[in-house]
Every structure is written in C-alpha cells, then in structure tokens.
Amino acid sequence: MAISARATQAKGAVDVVTTFLARIRALADDPDALDLTFGNPHEMALPGFTAALRAHVEPRSADWFGYKASERPAQEAVAAGLSAELGLPFEPEDIAMTQGAFGAISLALALLTDAADEVVIPVPGWFCYEPMLHAVNLVPVRAPLEPVSFDLDVDAIARAITRRTRIVIVNSPANPTGRVYSKQEWESLAAVLEEASRTHGRRIWLISDEPYRRVLFDDVEFASPAASYPWTVIDYSYGKVLLAPGQRLGYLALSPLIPTHEREELRDALMPLGLAIGWGFPDAVMQYSVPEFETLTIDLAELTRKRDRLYAALTDAGFEITRPEGTFYLWGRAPGGDAIAFCDALAERGVYVMPGTLFDQPQHFRISLTATMEMIEAALPHLVEVATASRGAAA
Ligand SMILES: Cc1ncc(COP(=O)(O)O)c(C=O)c1O
C-alpha cells in the first residue's frame, strides 16, 4: 500500500462525507436545486468584506506579500475583541493567526499532543475531528451528548477519559445541534477535568472550538469554557461570521488564565509550530484585513427570521426540531426515523439536506440556514410532503 496506516484511517473517517458528496453530485448540474446542505453562502459576500480585501490588496511596501507569520496588528485586534467578548485579558502574543478553525485545531494538536494520545470528541459533533486526529496519529474517543436535548454530558466525558487522554474538544455554539452551553455546564466539566488530571498525573487540555461564537440567536449569552478551566485554548474562524469560508482566516488563542510558566512555553512555540505544520499562517491580505473583519457580521436578524420560519413551520408539521440557539444549522429527527431515506426522497424533488449519518446519528438531519429565505420557502412544502409520506411508509 502506498498510503500510510494513519492516512488510511483518516480517509476512512471521511468516507461518510465523500459518500454523501457522491450522492448529491446531481446538485452541480441542476440550477434549480435547493441546496440546504453545507454552511456555504448563497448570496453575494458582505460589501464590507470585499471592501477590506480591496483596500489591502494594493501593496504598500516591498515586503507586502512577503512571508507573514502572525502579524502584530491582527493579533492586537483579536486580543482586544476576545477580551471585550469574554471578559478575560487576552494578550496579543498569545494569539496565533491560522488558516481558519481547521488550522487552529491542527496547531493546537501539534502543540499539545504526542503520538497515540487520546482526544475526547463530542457525538454528535463536527465530522472533521476524527479524520484530523487520525492524520496526526491521535486516537479519537467519542463521548455522547445527552440524547434528545444534546446538552453537554459531563459524566459521559468523565467516562471517556483514560490515562492516555490529553485533550477534550468541546464546541459551543455546537454544530450540528445549534446548542449553546452554559457557564454551569463548563464549571462541571472543569471539575471533572481537574479531578481526572490529578488522578492520572497528566494535565488534560481543553480545546474550545468556537467558530460560531458570534452567530447567536435572540439574546442567548455565550460562555466560553476558557473562563472556567485555565488549561484551555480557543480556536476561531472568520469563515462563519462573515460567511466566506473559502477565504481562510482564524486564530488559536491561549487563555490568559493558563499558569504563566506553561503559557510562556506555549507562546514561544506558537510561531515555530505554525511553521512546522506547513506554514499554517493565513495569507497576508487576510491578516491585514483582521481589524475591519472584527467589526463585521452576517445579517443575524435575517438569519433569525429564517430560523424562526423553518422552526415554526416544521414543528407545526409534526417534526421534532432542536431549536437552535446559535450556529446557522437546524437539527431535527427524520420523520419515519431513517435519515438517508428521508434525504434521498427530498433529493428526488431537488431539495438537498444533510443526513445525520455524517454525525453518527442515522435518525436525524441537518438543514443549513445559509440558504436564502426564497430557497427555504420553496423547500418547505417538499419537507412537509416527504415527512407525511415517510411517516406513512414507517407506520
Ligand atoms: C464545529 C466546527 N469547527 C471547525 C470548523 C472549521 O471552520 P473553518 O472551515 O472556517 O476553518 C467548522 C466548519 O464547518 C465547524 O463546523
């Protein structure tokens, strides 16, 4: 075999995504398709986003497009934004600019883990954690969320921890469920991690995956576990709040509560490890644009209208939907109980939603609210009709 064992495992963990992509291949050829699958834009980019890029693309010095590690103005803008949002004194030196949240997670894994360490991940959770862990010789260990509510299940995390555990990954606002976890949940998790670190004589780190931190509905209050557990690193992406995931930009932030000697050691490693993972820094123009990007967001009022319209119409039609508190996803149980059958029946009508099989939940489905309101209105009658037929077939 040409590819390595870990490459085989990583590829195997992405199979569920590639299989899904193969199933929805028809999408590309059908201009009338209603694509409610991935969190991709369906409208033109924010004018402020394009303006910032345009403002910074014209070189102002000979080294404008030279190699860029983490640029100081970007780090300062991030530290100021994070400090205001989370009420913790983040320092610019503790911010590593990265290629989105993907890049920030890769950097965190490079900084904190050794080969064969175990990393606890939530289920249902983002489908890229497992392949990313396999690709760097780490062992994913699944910890289920509470069934039905999809609350954090701290006892399940405690059960998943062994003496090999190095990291627990948490994600709030959560993909795919849209749940936002509370300060009390983080406090309970912190107590478990503190206790387990002591029992096993090895510090367990928390990666708080927060790319949807600014995509919140209503007045839901965001709490970061960084405020509850000092040994936390935060990964972030601008791809969600600006709905431009193809322009790669994000960061890894070291919590200011990490004990000083450990934080200094990590800080000194941010640049060398950014290099070691393959120059994981964002492109120069993206970094120059961070101060402007910090002030921009997609239209959250319109996103809320789409959430409210779909949630009300689907619950009225008998669907069981988890009301999203954040993210741009809507998560529900597939009528009839078979997500693939439900999604395939919709696809036959040109409506594409994501089966929960991508998240290890074969009875659920996910709808992306990044579709336009027109697309949502057009898809609704199909969702309701297919639901009625699916329930009939299952009865
Ligand atoms: C939970 C979660 N984490 C991380 C990422 C990666 O974000 P990005 O592609 O902007 O790096 C995503 C993207 O879908 C996500 O849903």
Q: List all residues 6 or more positions away from 388 whose beta carbon is below 8 Å from its beta carbon.
A: 335
Q: What's the N-to-C CA distance of the chain in angstroms? A: 47
DSSP letter for 337, please: S
DSSP string covering 41-52:
--SPPPHHHHHH
Question: Which of 40, 105, 128, 248 to probe ligand 1 with, by most ligand atoms within 8 A of CB?
Answer: 128
Peptide bond into 131 cis (omega under 30): no
Give the C-alpha distances (Å, rounded to integers) separating 259 from 149, 151, 162, 264, 371: 35, 29, 24, 9, 44
Q: Ligand 1 centre from 107 Cα, in Å? A: 14
Confidence of residue 312 (pLDDT cuts 50, 70, 90): very high
Residues with CB under 6 Å of ligand 1 are: 39, 100-102, 126, 171, 175, 209, 211, 237, 239, 245, 250
Q: Evaluate if residue 224 carries a pLDDT over 80.
A: yes
Burial of 301 (0-12, 13-18, 19+ CB in 10 A): exposed
CATH of 5-46+299-394, one of 3.30.470.20, 3.90.1150.10, 3.10.129.10, 3.30.420.40: 3.90.1150.10
* Ligand 1 atom, smallest distance to 245 CA: 10
Q: How far apart are CA 254 and CA 273, in angstroms?
A: 14
| Long-range CB pairs of 354-361, under 8 A, 24+ apart, other chains included | 354/20, 354/36, 354/37, 354/38, 354/176, 355/20, 356/124, 356/176, 356/331, 357/16, 357/20, 358/16, 358/17, 358/20, 358/127, 359/123, 359/124, 359/125, 359/127, 359/176, 360/123, 360/124, 360/142, 361/124
Residue 273 CA to ligand 1 center (angstroms) comes to: 21
Residues 350-386 have pLDDT tens digits of: 999 999 999 999 999 999 999 999 999 999 999 999 9
Gyration radius of the chain over CA positions: 21
Task: Between 23 and 197, name the one with better pLDDT.
Answer: 197
The DSSP code sequence of 255-285 is: -TTS-HHHHHHHHHHHHHHHHHTT--PPPHH
What does CATH list as the number for 66-293? Answer: 3.40.640.10
Residues 268 and 263: their CA atoms lie apart, in Å, by 9
Instruction: Give 176 Cα–ligand 1 centroid separation in angstroms.
Output: 11
Of the residues 209, 233, 293, 298, which should be mutated to test ligand 1's pocket, given the most ligand atoms within 8 Å of the CB? 209
Nearest CA to ligand 1 atom 5: 101
Mean pLDDT for all residues in the chain: 97
Structure tokens at 130: 């497992």
Predicted local distance difference test score (pLDDT) of residue 28 = 83
Which pLDDT value is given to residue 26?
Answer: 85
- How does pLDDT run across 241-292, given as a tens digit for each residue? 999 999 999 999 999 999 999 999 999 999 999 999 999 999 999 999 999 9
C-alpha of residue 126 to centroid of ligand 1, in Å: 8
* Domain map (residue ranges) of the chain: 5-46+299-394, 66-293
Tell me what pLDDT residue 328 has: 97
Q: In what helix (H) or strand (E) does residue 96 lie, and over which residues does it extend?
A: strand 95-98
- 296-318: average pLDDT: 98
Of ligand 1's atoms, which has the minimum distance to the CA of residue 104? 11
